Structure 1
Amino acid sequence: MKITAYLAVAAVAQAATVPRHQRLHADRRDVAPVVETVTETLYQTVVWVDSNGKPVSTETKDLSTSPSATTPISVAASPTNYKKQPVNDSGTIKSSQSSSEMPSPLSTSVPPTEASRMSTQDAPQSTNDAASSQNTGKGQTAGNSASSDGMGICYDMIDSQPQCKDPATISSEFSFLKSQGYTMVRIYDIGCPVNDFTAAAAQHGLTSMVGINSIANLQGDLNKLIGMMGGNWASVDTVYIGNEQVNTGQASADQVAAAVSTAKGILSGAGFGANVITVDTFNVMMNDPTICSTSDYCGTNIHAFFDPNTNAPNAGAFVLNAYNKVAATNGGKRIVITETGWPYHGNANGQAVPSPENQNSALDSIRGSGVPTGSLYFFQAYNTGYKQPGYLGVEQYFGIYDH
């Protein structure tokens, strides 16, 4: 999720009084750099937008009083326990927020949109032959990597101060993530030095997904990304053009498809010859094939937690159902789930209850659902305490490895 806050996966044209539950994304253009050096950018202001992309509030950070981040190192992997806590160089466990620092409870009375109510009872069986044959990482014994055929993880380049993580921190965290069986890493936007991220990915044998969140300044943003990369695209498997632009009402499906097509030509001229896609929520993509018609594959965000009828053990069935529906709409084009996860803290959303145990259960359910693990990016590696709590107070607590 970029610098992200994603309040829901579901949006559909219903009565105007029914809010959309999308993740709120703090766009890089809305985050003003306060101090900039060669390696990092400090951020002070975040503008939060509603479902139509209109500003609704502004959050200002006091950078001088923010806590310092610690740097994790690699620890032994466990295939079903996602709670390995990274430690810093002094051997101290990387700290999470204490319960006294947690956001106060938010109302859970906001009704979900109809698209988020896809019943898991309608989901296909998770053992279809084509998908299950690729899930060779299941059933491993303790001590093995999390998956023998790899999977993806979403990664935030901003730490708790908040500022861009330095190359040493990124490399250390990537070493840990590689030890957990991940082979793909996704970041969000161009507010931090993307080349630090891709260099660390190459160092640890990971493929990377980079891109721009908005298409409003397509040429300028691509020029910035290309300048950061300096022609070194070795670890980059995918460049995404726009994250949830249609779901948030910032662009139409036609505009996004046209932007992807334009970006392909620009990126090709800069020496990039791999995948160029857009990313949007599953409900948007299963309703309109135009969105990813020019993409090399369909990148879709699917979060079972935001369906109040889905509990943690059934998260995998929900995700597989949505995955299959996106595939059906898009004529069998390859589908990659670019975000899927479960928070471990916050308020309940009907049957969807955040807790460490439920986060483990949901992630295991998704891994065993039948969706090829090579087509999954889990959201996300570490917590994002710098964000606003968001809907149900869960936005800061999707981190898998630092609590």
Structure 2
Amino acid sequence: MNTFLFLFLLAFAATKYCCSAQIFYGLNFGINQHSCPPLEHYVDEFKHIKAYTNRVRSYTTGVCNQGALALKASQTVGMNIYLGMWVDTPQTFESEFNALKGIVQSGASLSNVDAIIVGSEVVYRKEADATTLAGYIKRVRDLVHPHGVKVTTSEVYYDFSPPIVEAVDLLMMNAFPYWEGVSIEQAGATLFKHYDSVVSVAQGKPVKISETGWPSRGGNFGASVPSPQNQRSYVKQVLCEARKRGVDVIYFSAADENYKSGVESSFGIMDPQYKLKAPITMQDLSQPC
């Protein structure tokens, strides 16, 4: 092989890897909390996820020591991460806060942490009011702001009241047209209508979509029909509009989670063995419009 051909092929391979890694702004991932995985599990999963994105989002710092393990794995693989804190009671927050404080005090690098997400749909589930959640956020900000790390929460698109907006560095919204009973034909437009509504109350702060997705199997919800074809349609709609508008979307989710029941187990773009789920193709993801 001559030198020119070798360099061409090398450049092509590098370009292909780079672009595939940026298909999604980010992907959510979960773990079976009844069977806590070791560090090696995270490293292996992140290596598979890296074919689609350079960014992941976790949901807890304390349970299964996920915060420390996911952070270390993300740095091993070379990815950014949103570190989540699960918040459902004051006691849970304290446990999660102590786990985060342990990470900070350990001296671990936080350079690849995009933000700490204090709770997921806490106000929506009525597990804390907006003022209480804002207080949690401020405590986390006091801990990590000196290290240059931003703080936010992940909330349903219609639950951003002024105390929350004022407390966060950026807004992260969840919206699932599937759970609203929207037909697949209107699903993408519905998502970005909700996005626009959050932008209108964001006081100029950045807004990102932290969760959205469509299941490939399970029961219908109103006009929403889970199927492989509809999942493919939805992910293409989301990626296409997000790229046109420059919106950051952390898609839900990376892989099917068979430890969950019913429709909740089938939101992954990959199966549990990390194989892209048909009929979705890499061309769909790289050229969704």
TM-score between both structures, scaled by the size of structure 1? 0.58
TM-aligned CA distance change 1:373 to 1:213, over 3 Å = farther
CA contact (8 A) 1:305 1:349 kept: yes
Instruction: Output one character per residue of 1:129-151: Cα deviation in whole Å (capped at 9) or x when no partner.
Output: xxxxxxxxxxxxx9884464751
Partner residue, 1:386 = 259
Picking from 55, 60, 70, the partner of 1:184 is 55
Partner residue, 2:212 = 340
CA contact (8 A) 2:157 2:175 kept: yes
- Identity, in percent, stands at 26
For this pair of structures, how many residues does the alignment match?
251
Picking from 102, 105, 111, the partner of 1:227 is 102
Q: Which runs of 5+ in 2 are unaligned?
A: 1-15, 272-276, 278-289
Q: Is the counterpart of residue 216 in structure 1 residue 90 in structure 2?
A: yes
Once residues 22 and 42 of structure 2 are traced to their aligned partners in structure 1, the CA distance between those partners, rounded to angstroms, is 23
Higher relative contact order (CA 8 A, sep 6+): 1
Partner residue, 2:280 = none
TM-aligned CA distance change 1:296 to 1:366, over 3 Å = same
Alignment of 1:214-293 (within 5 A): 214=87, 216-217=90-91, 218-228=93-103, 230-232=106-108, 233-268=110-145, 272-285=147-160, 288-293=161-166
Q: Relative to total residues, which structure has the larger helix share, 1 or 2?
A: 2
Q: Which runs of 5+ in 1 are unaligned?
A: 1-141
Secondary structure, counterpart of 1:369 in structure 2: helix
TM-fit CA distance, 1:207 = 0.8
Q: Is the counterpart of residue 207 in structure 1 residue 80 in structure 2?
A: yes
Instruction: Output one character per residue of 1:291-325: Cα deviation in whole Å (capped at 9) or x when no partner.
Output: 232100011111111121x2224322111110110
Alignment of 1:359-370 (within 5 A): 359-370=231-242
Once residues 213 and 246 of structure 1 are traced to their aligned partners in structure 2, the CA distance between those partners, rounded to angstroms, is 13
TM-score between both structures, scaled by the size of structure 2? 0.79
Letter in 2 for 1:156: G
Letter in 1 for 2:99: K
Letter in 1 for 2:32: I
Once structures 1 and 2 are overlaid, which stretch shifts more, 335-344 or 236-245?
236-245
Partner residue, 1:322 = 194
CA contact (8 A) 2:209 2:248 kept: yes
CA contact (8 A) 1:152 1:374 kept: no
Secondary structure, counterpart of 1:237 in structure 2: strand
TM-aligned CA distance change 1:276 to 1:262, over 3 Å = same
CA contact (8 A) 2:255 2:267 kept: yes
Alignment of 1:14-163 (within 5 A): 145-146=19-20, 148=22, 150-158=24-32, 162-163=34-35
Letter in 1 for 2:204: G
Letter in 1 for 2:195: Y
TM-fit CA distance, 1:221 = 2.4
Once residues 194 and 223 of structure 2 are traced to their aligned partners in structure 1, the CA distance between those partners, rounded to angstroms, is 18
Letter in 2 for 1:303: F
Secondary structure, counterpart of 1:331 in structure 2: coil
Considering only aligned residues, what root-mean-square deviation do their CA atoms show, in Å?
2.4
Secondary structure, counterpart of 1:202 in structure 2: helix
Once structures 1 and 2 are overlaid, which stretch shifts more, 271-280 or 237-246?
271-280
Partner residue, 1:198 = 71
TM-fit CA distance, 1:381 = 1.0
TM-fit CA distance, 1:272 = 3.2
Once residues 207 and 374 of structure 1 are traced to their aligned partners in structure 2, the CA distance between those partners, rounded to angstroms, is 17
Secondary structure, counterpart of 1:290 in structure 2: helix
